[in-house]
């Protein structure tokens, strides 16, 4: 039996994919709640920002307001159905919970940032009102719809379609749209403003990194089990899909950066997005399309350990779900 064979496997022992179960357990250790994020200093910061910066932020949170819901929908409607492994489905259930927390976080953020009710409604309707966000959403819907009618993955073509959907959500949506957003937040964070947004988003991205890693795990399992699915056509389709995602994200950047932000030029942003797309291709073992380098040194800040001064920020580097019993002879 392979992972994509139709069915509802219920057997956890012996466990066929223990790594999925480990991802599930790790995810639990990262549990955080919206109440832990302190947004009160953000309001003061917002007033200090320039109109150009405020525009960037309002667009960004408008995207966040719907982004995670779209991912959750695809998870329920498409992924859960076809990943036929109880431990894999455990992880997906956990991911679904995390997406819900993210939605709640951005809901709370928007309610706090946008006190005016009419403006708030407009932000939540971003998909209708803001063309640059609409274009990204349409890209997502197209791929959700691509396998929506598939009840079972019987044929080779079915499975390839499923893989494209999975890769789209991992590499393009979580891996590029969210990572693009990540760069904006990190830019602001490196400038010391909007700590509430930054710390909540940091936790969101910690989760998103896991989601992406899990999806790529699934891709690799399928590659091992059914290597013939990964043919030249698939390579071409994935590369094209990423190129389209880059275009969507660049037009979003044109909107966000349209009024000029010092330290975050459109040219650098484009290069960054191309660079991220190349990284996603590399993870899938596909040749890079752009050959672009990362122009943002501030992105390096997220790759190294944090050392919070507890006087200034709440430390986020703790775990939940610690195990063991009292003893006095253990090594430390």
Partner 1 sequence: MTVTQDKAIVPEQRRQVMQVRKRNGDLEPVDVNKIVKAVERWVGDLDEVDPLRVATKTISGLYDGATTAELDKLSIQTAAELIGEEPQYSRLAARLLAAYVDKEVRGQGVASFSQSIRYAYQNGLIGDETAAFVARNARKLDDAVDPDGDRRFEYFGLRTVADRYLLKHPETRLVVETPQYWLLRVACGLSTNPGEAIAFYRLMSSLAYLPSSPTLFNSGTRHTQMSSCFLVDSPRDELDSIYERYHQVAKLSKFSGGIGISWSRIRGRGALIRGTNGRSNGIVPFLKTLDAGVAAVNQGGRRKGAACVYLEPWHPDIEEFLELRDNTGEESRRTHNLNLANWIPDEFMRRVEADGDWSLIDPSDAPELPDLFGEAFDEAYRAAEKKAVRTVKARDLYGRMMRTLAQTGNGWMTFKDRSNALSNQTGGPGSTIHLSNLCTEILEVNSDDETAVCNLGSINLAGHLTADGTGIDWEKLRATVRTAVVFLDRVIDINYYPSQQAAASNPRWRPVGLGLMGLQDAFFAQRLPFDSAGARELSTRVQEEILLTALETSAGLAAEFGAHPAFAETRAAHGDLHPDLWGATPTQPERWAALRETVAAHGLRNSLLVAIAPTATIASIAGCYECIEPQVSNLFKRETMSGEFLQINTYLVRGLKARGRWTPEIRERIKRADGSVQDITELPADVRELFRTAWELPQRALIDLAAARAPYIDQSQSLNLFMSAPTIGKLSSMYLYAWKAGLKTTYYLRSRPATRIQQATVAVTPAVTPITPIAPISLVSDADAEALACSLENPESCEACQ
Q: Which residues are catalytic?
A: 106
Secondary structure in 3-state letters for 3-28: CCCCCCCCCCCCCCCHHHHHHHHHHH
- Residue 177 C-beta: closest distance to partner 1, Å: 15
Q: Using the rule CB under 8 A, is 210 a contact of partner 1?
A: yes
Question: 131 Cβ partners below 8 Å, 6+ apart?
Answer: 255
Task: Decide if 178 contacts 273 (C-beta within 8 A).
Answer: no
CB 41 within 8 A of CB 106: no
Smallest distance, Å, CB 258 to partner 1?
10
Q: Which of positions 272-291 make contact with partner 1 (CB under 8 A)?
A: 276, 279, 282-285
Per CB under 8 A, contacts with partner 1 among 230-249 are none
Instruction: Give CA–CA dist 150/264, Å, rounded.
Output: 42
Cβ count near 92 (within 10 Å): 23
Q: Least distance (Å) from partner 1 to the CB of residue 54?
A: 16
149 near partner 1, judged by CB under 8 A: no
Q: Which residues contact 232 (CB under 8 A, 6 or more apart)?
A: none
**Contacts to partner 1 from residues 213-232, by CB under 8 A:** 213, 216-217, 219-221, 223-225
Cis peptide before 311 (omega within 30 of 0): no
37 or 133: whose CB is closer to partner 1? 37
Judged by beta carbon, residue 151 or residue 305, the one nearer partner 1 is 305
* 29's tokens: 């250790």
Burial 5-33 (b: 16+ CB within 10 A, else e): eeeebeeeeeebbeebbebbebbeebebe
- Please list every residue from 155 through 184 that binds partner 1, using CB under 8 A: 179, 182
Binding mask 182-201 vs partner 1 (x if CB under 8 A, - otherwise)? x------xxxxx-x------
**Using CB under 8 A, which of the segments 63-71, 134-142, 158-166, 205-213 binds partner 1?**
205-213
CA distance 238 to 164: 7
- Taking CB under 8 A as the criterion, the residue among 18, 77, 129, 247 binding partner 1 is 18
Near partner 1 by CB under 8 A: residue from 47, 117, 291, 323: 323
Nearer to partner 1, 144 or 199 (CB): 199
Contacts to partner 1 from residues 40-59, by CB under 8 A: 40
Instruction: Specify the stretch interacting with partner 1 by CB under 8 A; choose among 12-20, 75-83, 134-142, 160-168.
Output: 12-20
| Residues across the chain | 332
Kindly state the smallest distance separating residue 208's Cβ from partner 1, in Å: 8
| Candidate residues 205, 245, 248, 277; the one interacting with partner 1 per rule CB under 8 A | 205
Residues in 303-322 at the binding interface with partner 1, rule: CB under 8 A: 303-322
- Find the Cα–Cα–Cα–Cα dihedral 327, 328, 331, 332, rounded to 10°: 100
d(CA 165, CA 48) in angstroms, rounded, equals: 42
Contact with partner 1 (CB under 8 A): which of 19, 76, 125, 234?
19
Q: Which is nearer to partner 1, 106 or 179 (CB)?
A: 179
Cβ at position 235, least distance to partner 1 in Å: 13
Q: Confirm if 226 and 2 have CB atoms less than 8 A apart.
A: yes
Tell me the closest approach of the beta carbon of residue 134 to partner 1, in angstroms: 25
- Any residues with CB less than 8 A from the CB of 243 and at least 6 apart, and which? 277, 289
- Minimum distance, C-beta of residue 261 to partner 1, in the bound complex (Å): 6
């Amino acid at each position: 039996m392979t992972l994509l064979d139709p069915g509802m496997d219920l057997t956890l022992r012996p466990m066929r994919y223990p790594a999925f179960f480990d991802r599930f357990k790790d995810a639990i250790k990262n549990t955080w709640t919206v109440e832990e994020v302190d947004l009160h200093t953000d309001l003061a910061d917002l007033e200090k920002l320039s109109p150009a910066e405020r525009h960037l932020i309002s667009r960004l949170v408008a995207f966040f307001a719907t982004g995670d819901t779209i991912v959750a929908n695809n998870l329920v409607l498409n992924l859960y159905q076809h990943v036929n492994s109880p431990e894999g489905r455990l992880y997906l259930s956990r991911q679904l919970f995390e997406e819900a927390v993210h939605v709640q976080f951005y809901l709370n953020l928007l309610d706090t940032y946008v006190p005016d009710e009419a403006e708030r409604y407009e932000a939540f309707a971003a998909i209708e009102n803001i063309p640059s966000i609409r274009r990204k959403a349409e890209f997502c819907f197209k791929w959700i719809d691509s396998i929506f009618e598939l009840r079972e993955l019987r044929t080779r073509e079915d499975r390839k379609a499923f893989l494209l959907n999975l890769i789209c959500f991992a590499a393009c949506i979580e891996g590029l749209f969210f990572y693009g957003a990540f760069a904006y937040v990190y830019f602001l964070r490196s400038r010391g403003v909007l700590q509430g947004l930054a710390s909540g988003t940091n936790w969101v991205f910690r989760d998103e990194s896991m989601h992406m890693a899990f999806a790529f795990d699934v891709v690799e399992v399928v590659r091992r089990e059914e290597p013939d699915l990964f043919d030249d056509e698939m390579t071409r389709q994935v590369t094209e899909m990423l190129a389209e995602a880059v275009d969507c994200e660049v037009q979003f950047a044109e909107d966000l950066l349209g009024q000029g932000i010092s330290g975050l030029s459109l040219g650098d942003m484009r290069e960054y997005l191309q660079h991220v797309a190349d990284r996603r291709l590399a993870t899938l073992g596909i040749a890079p399309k752009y050959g672009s380098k990362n122009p943002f040194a501030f992105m390096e800040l997220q790759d190294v350990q944090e050392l919070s001064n507890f006087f200034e920020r709440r430390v986020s580097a703790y775990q939940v779900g610690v195990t063991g019993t009292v003893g006095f002879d253990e090594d430390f």
